[in-house]
Amino acid sequence: MIIDTTEVQDINSFSRFEFLKEVYGIIWFLIPIFTPVLGITIGVLVIVWLEREISAGLQQRIGPEYAGPLGVLQAIADGVKLLFKENLLPSRGETRLFSIGPSIAVISILLSYSVVPFGYRLVLADLNMGVFLWIAISSIAPIGLLMSGYGSNNKYSFLGGLRAAAQSISYEIPLTLCVLSISLLSNSSSTVDIVEAQSKYGLGGWNLWRQPIGFIIFLISSLAECERLPFDLPEAEEELVAGYQTEYSGIKFGLFYVASYLNLLVSSLFVTVLYLGGWNISIPNIFGSELFDFEINKRYGVFGATIGIFITLAKTYLFLFIPITTRWTLPRLRMDQLLNLGWKFLLPISLGNLLLTTSFQLFSL
């Protein structure tokens, strides 16, 4: 049997072409997954560096300066240190709950980024119920904290987990009522539609001016959801050693650390989307040009998308100065004060704000 050499070469080249095509398809499948993860990781590292620099400035200290220029690599150094530390397990605890708890806390927060629009059409999932999906997913994180506290077989850890669950329930209701008011104003629960509704009226169309009471309640509730001072009762070191983190070490302890900053970043992003106009710079027709109008994201392709991402992140990181400075300014509340603030003050005020918004929308029809 005679085999033509040309045919063999054609078969081999076709096989190589098919293989390269499959590799190309896999790469394009993985790019949309790893790009947001890389961006979120860099964002968290920037927050950690910002908090250390701002806190150092408030306390008249030098802050991190040895790990990299201006100490920008300090967070990476801390992560590498935790990665190589021994991972200890409580001898009489529930090992499975102890191990699963940190993962649930991180994964539930990471899923929230899927509905955050970073620019025009730059969102992983533009859902009709996007903002409420964020609230539903973020409510899973305290379950992971409660599992961690129960699985540690430690009274301080268990008390920290119970505090986390009680705090989350207390402040999610006012937070949801504020989001519902924004949805009524925008006639949509999609994060993209909410930003576009604000862009129609320029700077005056920001929901910050239309919902000032809701903004203050949302800010307080988001701080409580992120367990930031003065609401860090679940890990109060003077009372509970370290709360639900007491028995953790190594990378599992690092996951809780990452989860807190992931939650802080996503909360700031939603403040930008819901109240600060999102990717829209909201200065329409300046000097007779539409360069800074909402239309830039539609007309200028990649350049417009880059500008939209930059504006969103700039607003987010400017807003982050509030929770960071609050941490080093206000003292910690007692548990009864925290619950009274949520149930006796924020809940009635947010409910009244929702009723006023509903009445306004009905009379404007």
Question: What count of other Cβ atoms lies within 10 Å of the Cβ of residue 157?
Answer: 30
Nearest to 36 by CA among 124, 130, 148, 126: 124
**Tokens 């639900």 found at:** 244
Element holding 137 (H helix, E strand): helix 130-138
What b/e string do you get for 181-217 counting C-beta neighbours within 10 Å, with b at 16 or more?
A: bbbbbbebbbbbbbbbbbbeebeebbbbebbeebbeb
Helix/strand/coil for 291 = coil
Q: What is the pLDDT of residue 285?
A: 46
CB within 8 Å of 254: residues ≥ 6 apart: 78, 79, 82, 83
Spatial contact of 324 and 55, defined as CB atoms under 8 Å apart: yes
Residue by residue, pLDDT tens for the chain (365 residues) are 455 566 555 555 656 666 667 777 777 777 777 777 788 888 888 898 888 888 888 888 888 888 878 888 888 888 888 888 888 888 887 888 888 988 898 888 888 888 999 887 788 888 888 898 888 888 888 888 888 888 888 888 888 888 888 888 889 999 999 999 999 988 888 898 998 888 877 777 889 998 999 999 999 999 998 888 788 877 766 666 677 888 888 888 888 888 889 999 999 999 999 999 888 875 544 444 444 445 555 556 677 778 888 889 999 999 998 998 888 888 888 888 888 999 999 999 999 999 999 998 888 76
C-beta pairs of 339-348 under 8 Å, 24+ apart in sequence: 339/166, 339/170, 341/220, 342/167, 342/170, 342/171, 342/173, 342/174, 342/221, 342/224, 343/170, 346/171, 346/174, 346/217, 346/220, 346/221, 347/173, 347/174, 347/177
Q: What is the pLDDT of residue 218?
A: 94
Q: What is the pLDDT of residue 238?
A: 62
Q: What is the pLDDT of residue 15?
A: 60
Q: What is the pLDDT of residue 201?
A: 77
Q: What is the pLDDT of residue 64?
A: 82
Nearest to 257 by CA among 35, 134, 136, 78: 78
Tell me the C-alpha distance between 118 and 327, whole Å: 27
Nearest to 354 by CA among 162, 175, 226, 202: 175
Our measurement of the distance from residue 104's CA atom to the centroid of its chain's CA atoms, rounded to an integer in Å, reads: 15
Tell me the C-alpha distance between 101 and 233, whole Å: 18
